[in-house]
Amino acid sequence: MRLRKGIVVAEVALSVLLIVGAGLMVRSFRNLLVEDPGFHTENLLFARFSLPAAEYTPEGSVEFYERLEEGVAGLPGVVGVTYTSRPPLLWHDQEGRFHIEGRPVTATGPLCCVGSTVAVGEQFHGMLGVPLIRGRLFELDDQLPGAPGVVLVDETAAERYWPGEDPVGKRVRFGGERLPWFEVVGVVGSITYDGPGIAFPTLYHPANQTPNFAARSRYLVVKTGGEPRALVDGVRGVVRGLDARQAIASTYTIDEIQGLGLARPRFILTLFGVFAGVALALGAVGIYGVISYGVALRAGEIGIRRALGAEEGAVMGMILRQGLGLTVAGLLLGLAGALAGTRVLTGFLHEVSPSDPLTFLTVAGVILAVAILASFFPARRASGVDPLVALRVE
């Protein structure tokens, strides 16, 4: 019997550990769903293109995308068109380095700072509703090849690398000493790029400023007045009219991109939820089995108690206390283990502490409720034992 009780305590402790983990992931996932990504997400379509190097020079790529933008802008239902080298919210894990003029270089190279770089059209930030904090946005002249080198930085980069300063007017460089400097002309709001809940310094280039930044692979960004998917065929038609050999590599709506960005936390949440549910079920079955077996072994004792005048409520309370005793022991062990073990989830949690009190209290309440329910039926059966039948069997 002691072995059975020990197994039940272990099952309850494991249930607590897994349910706490699942609870933390649920709260974190909810925070990710309601987090502001930093731009207007309504009715956006992203169409990816990759022009072959054998057919398109950098200058030819610029011309193709300008004509594509003009053609798509004329389609019915299109509110705005621009382009970007990288759509928001999509897991790309892109990390680059740059150097700020006047800052000391690092021991490992000439670049002092880390940040993502994104090439965009001049309408990108305005069309997506990204706020301008200071300075100015890109203008059409900034997109002309040979124009003075300019960049925009987001709030995350400004706060990290220019704390207490105004970055506008400062210069940055994206490579060794032979590469040109770029002037910071504005600070914009931060957009979530590397998946929900991840803030990373981002710097923006005008996509057509020089041939070096005229990437052959781009995402056309289309803002529509209705369902974005309805524009896919129209965009294909414009592409065929420009070059029948080219095709859209892939298309995404913003909802689909958000789904991809949430895939990893959703998988972890599902995994925890399945194991937590199984552990909770095993714990409940274990408590029920041990209490039921204990009632069967103590049938004679219970019969004597009833014959000597024990009330049904007293017998029922005695059995319930036995089940709750096992549960409390497992609960204390599980909560202690969760306090130590959930710290490994820190990297997966968003705006939730690994020792979140609300989650721990809620899990404790759930475990106690399940234990009371699992102990109730054996306790009720024990309280209804007929003293004469129990003594005769004994």
pLDDT tens profile 226-265: 888 988 999 999 989 988 888 888 888 887 887 776 777 7
Res. 390: pLDDT tops 60:
no
Res. 169: pLDDT tops 80:
yes
pLDDT tens profile 307-358: 677 676 777 777 778 777 878 888 888 888 888 877 777 766 767 788 888 8
pLDDT tens profile 274-305: 877 787 777 777 777 777 776 666 666 767 77
pLDDT tens profile 81-126: 998 888 887 765 556 788 888 887 765 666 788 888 888 988 999 9
Which pLDDT score is estimated for 223?
93
Unique residue bearing structure tokens 């103590």 = 298
**Average pLDDT along the chain:** 81
Which pLDDT score is estimated for 98?
86
Same domain, 65 and 170: yes
Query: Which DSSP letter does residue 188 get?
Result: E
| Helical H segments across the chain, by residue range | 2-34, 58-73, 124-127, 155-161, 232-242, 254-261, 263-297, 299-307, 312-341, 357-383, 387-393
Other beta carbons within 10 angstroms of residue 23's beta carbon come to 23
Which pLDDT score is estimated for 385?
59
> Between 178 and 129, where is the model more confident?
129
Other beta carbons within 10 angstroms of residue 372's beta carbon come to 15
Which pLDDT score is estimated for 289?
76
Contact 320, 372 (CB under 8 A): yes
**Percent of all residues in the chain with a pLDDT value above 70, rounded to a whole number:** 85
Which pLDDT score is estimated for 176?
73
The three-class DSSP label of residue 142 is helix
Last residue of a domain, one of 198, 215, 245: 245
User: For residue 247, what are the CA distances in angstroms to 31, 189, 219, 243?
Assistant: 38, 33, 13, 9
Domain that holds residue 148: 52-245
What sign has the CA pseudo-torsion 219, 220, 226, 229?
negative
Same domain, 180 and 235: yes
Q: Is residue 255 part of a domain?
A: no
Q: How far apart are CA 186 and CA 138, in angstroms?
A: 8
Intra-chain end-to-end CA distance of the chain, in Å: 20
Res. 79: pLDDT tops 70:
yes
Last residue of a domain, one of 218, 245, 272: 245
Q: How far apart are CA 197 and CA 28, in angstroms?
A: 9
> Between 295 and 18, where is the model more confident?
18
Same domain, 268 and 236: no
pLDDT tens profile 185-204: 999 998 887 766 667 889 99
Same domain, 205 and 85: yes
The structure tokens listed for 226 are 């209705």
Section 170-193 average pLDDT: 87
Q: How far apart are CA 96 and CA 82, in angstroms?
A: 23
Same domain, 163 and 278: no
Q: Is residue 254 part of a domain?
A: no
In terms of residues, how long is the chain?
394
Same domain, 202 and 328: no
> Between 163 and 283, where is the model more confident?
163
User: For residue 174, what are the CA distances in angstroms to 78, 187, 236?
Assistant: 35, 18, 35
Same domain, 235 and 111: yes
pLDDT tens profile 29-67: 777 766 778 888 889 999 998 888 888 887 888 888 889
Last residue of a domain, one of 245, 277, 306: 245
Same domain, 95 and 229: yes
